[in-house]
């Protein structure tokens, strides 16, 4: 046995957030904005960030209530632009990292932002399992159909024939359909939106945040540098069509949702699928609550003592 290591001491004082009798104000854009985004002028990601700020303000999320998590890619620079707790994790692994926060800190909202490469190529396995486990967090895929940060290579959502630096003759691999992927993996909230429709984007983000489970949004977010015009067909201002999902669509019908996801581009926008299922968070908390209840108020060391006594 070695000498115990001394406790870390954080610089704490008797500090209060709001003076007694005053109501705490929502965060303003000025308070929530951090670094100026490194994105190219015209990038769709600006819009996602702006509406995230708006949601934080509208929903009175203060910094101690949420975390912003990402992996690697253009869109994954996101947390640096938010003046709040966040983490810029490694490529493709933002979802398990965010799951660790979600499962150990039920008091925090966890938002994950990532690109199509991060979430569906290197992180594809994690996407499937986070969805099937129904871990409570919101995941926004800022899909631009191309690798932007590394300057125009084929992404898992690049359509066939897309000419990139890694497919100079045009992409030859069949693209992933993020909506189908999410539905079939078991995501309990699956929505589709676009950065060019701010009101819709905000609506989807708020609905996702309110969902108790794994909520997924595919947000078309154009890369003006390496895939200009990719989503014009979904943008009325560019002569395209922004079609909301049919009014009679049943969001609890998984097969109907899958059919919507099968529509040719530009497809439909809105909530494709929404199911109420116990989250992993709730199941784990339930296992723990039952075990704690069984321990009948014993202190932690006494529980361990019981185990050790059985090993004598």
Partner 1 sequence: MSDSAVTNQTAGGPPKVSKINEAVIRIAGNSQDGIQAIGGFLARLAGRSAQEVMTFMTIPSTISGGPSIFQVRLGSGEVLSPGDDADVLLAFYQHSYEDHIGSLKQGGIVLYDSDHVEPKPEWQPLYHHVGVPVSNLTIEAIGGTAKDKGKNLFALGLVTRIFDLDVVKLEGLFGERFGGKDASVLNNALAAFRAGYNHSLGEVLETFKFVDSQGKAGQQVVMNGNDAIAYGLIAAGVRFGAAYPITPWSDVMEILRRELPKYGGSFIQCEDEIAAISMANGASFAGRVAVTGSSGPGISLKMEALGWAVMAEVPLVVVNIQRGGPSTGLPTQVEQSDLNLACFGSHGDAPRVVIAPADVEDCFYTAIEAVNIARKYNVPVFLLSDQAIATRIEAFAEPKLEQLCQDITPDLSPVADYKPYDLSSPDGVTPRVVPGTPILSGRYPIAGGLEHDEFGHPSAAPKLHMQMTAKRRKKLQALAATLPTPKVYGPPEGNLLLVGWGSTQGPIREAVDRARAAGDSVSALHIKYLNPLPPGLENIFSGFKSVRVVELNDEGLYGYGQLAGLLRARYCDPKIRGINKTDGLTWKVKEILEHARADMATGLQRK
HSE toward the beta carbon, residue 96, CA cutoff 13 A: 11
> Is the Cβ of residue 10 or residue 168 nearer to partner 1 in the bound state?
10
In the range 23-52, which residues lie near partner 1 by CB under 8 A?
A: 31, 34-35
Give me 295's structure tokens. Answer: 């321990």
239 binds partner 1 (CB under 8 A): no
CB 96 within 8 A of CB 135: no
Q: Residue 164 gets which letter from DSSP?
A: B
CB 35 within 8 A of CB 69: no
At 151 the three-state DSSP class reads coil
Distance (Å, whole) CA 45 – CA 243: 21
In 3D, which of 52, 63, 78 has the Cα closest to residue 27? 63
297 binds partner 1 (CB under 8 A): no
CB of 279 to partner 1, least distance (A): 13
The only residue of 47, 75, 121, 128 in contact with partner 1, by rule CB under 8 A = 128
CB 178 within 8 A of CB 155: no
Distance (Å, whole) CA 246 – CA 36: 39
CB of 60 to partner 1, least distance (A): 14
Taking CB under 8 A as the binding criterion, the range among 143-151, 199-207, 266-274, 297-305 that sits at the site for partner 1 is 297-305
In 3D, which of 76, 83, 193, 68 has the Cα closest to residue 123? 76
108 binds partner 1 (CB under 8 A): yes
290 binds partner 1 (CB under 8 A): yes
In the range 48-107, which residues lie near partner 1 by CB under 8 A?
A: 62-65, 67, 69, 72, 79-80, 83-90, 93, 96-101, 103-105, 107
Question: Where along the sequence are the contacts to partner 1 (CB under 8 A)?
Answer: 1-2, 4-13, 15-17, 31, 34-35, 62-65, 67, 69, 72, 79-80, 83-90, 93, 96-101, 103-105, 107-108, 125-126, 128-129, 284, 287-288, 290-292, 294-295, 299-301, 303-305, 307-308, 310-312
């Amino acid at each position: 046995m070695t000498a115990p290591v001394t406790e870390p001491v954080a610089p704490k004082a008797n500090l209060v957030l709001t003076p007694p009798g005053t109501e705490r104000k929502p965060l303003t854009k000025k308070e929530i904005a951090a670094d100026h985004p490194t994105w190219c002028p015209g990038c769709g990601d600006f819009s996602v960030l702006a509406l995230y700020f708006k949601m934080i303000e509208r929903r009175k999320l203060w910094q101690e209530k949420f975390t912003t998590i990402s992996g690697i890619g253009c869109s994954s620079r996101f947390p640096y632009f938010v003046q709040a707790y966040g983490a810029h994790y490694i490529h493709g692994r933002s979802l398990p990292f965010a799951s660790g926060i979600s499962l150990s800190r039920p008091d925090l909202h966890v938002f994950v932002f990532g690109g199509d490469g991060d979430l569906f190529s290197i992180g594809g396995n994690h996407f499937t399992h986070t969805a099937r486990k129904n871990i409570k967090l919101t995941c926004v895929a800022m899909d631009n159909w191309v690798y932007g940060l590394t300057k125009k290579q084929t992404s898992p959502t690049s359509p066939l024939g897309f000419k990139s630096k890694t497919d100079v003759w045009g992409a030859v691999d069949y693209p992933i359909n993020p909506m189908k992927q999410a539905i079939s993996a078991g995501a309990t909230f699956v929505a589709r939106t676009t950065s060019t429709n701010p009101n819709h984007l905000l609506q989807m983000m708020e609905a996702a945040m309110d969902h108790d489970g794994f909520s997924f949004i595919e947000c078309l977010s154009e890369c003006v540098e390496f895939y200009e015009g990719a989503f014009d067909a979904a943008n009325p201002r560019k002569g395209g069509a922004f079609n909301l999902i049919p009014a009679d669509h049943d969001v609890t019908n998984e097969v109907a949702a899958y059919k919507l996801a099968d529509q040719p581009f530009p497809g439909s926008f809105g909530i494709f699928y929404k199911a109420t299922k116990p989250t992993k968070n709730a199941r784990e908390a339930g296992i723990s609550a039952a075990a704690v209840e069984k321990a009948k108020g014993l202190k932690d060391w006494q529980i361990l003592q019981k185990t050790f006594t059985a090993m004598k």
